[in-house]
Amino acid sequence: MAAAYLTPTTSLTTPKNFLSTRKIRYDSLPIRNADRLTVKASLLNEVENSRVCVKAKKVESPIVVIDNYDSFTYNLCQYMGELGCNFEVYRNDDLTVEELARKNPRGILISPGPGTPQDSGISLETVLKLGPILPVFGVCMGLQCIGEAFGGKVVRSPFGVVHGKSSLVYYDEKGEDSLFSGLTNPFTAGRYHSLVIEKESFPSDVLEVTAWTDDGLIMAAFVIRSISISRGSVPSRKHYNY
Q: What is the mean pLDDT of the chain?
A: 77
Residue 52 DSSP label: B
Tell me: pLDDT of 36 over 50: no
Q: Which pLDDT score, from 0 to 100, does residue 222 have?
A: 86
At residue 162 the predicted structure's pLDDT band, cuts being 50, 70 and 90, is confident
Per-residue pLDDT tens digits for 103-134: 999 999 999 999 999 999 999 999 999 999 99
| Cα-based torsion angle of the residue sequence 125, 131, 133, 134 in order, rounded to the nearest 10 degrees | 110
Written out in words, the top-level CATH class of the domain with range 63-241 is: alpha beta
More confident position, 203 or 10: 203
Look at the pTM and tell me if it is higher than 0.85: no
Tell me the C-alpha distance between 34 and 196, whole Å.
80
User: Where in the chain do CATH 3.40.50.880 domains reside?
Assistant: 63-241
Residue 166 bridge partners (DSSP): 190
- Cα(117)–Cα(129) distance, integer angstroms: 16
Residue 42 CB-half CA count within 13 A: 0
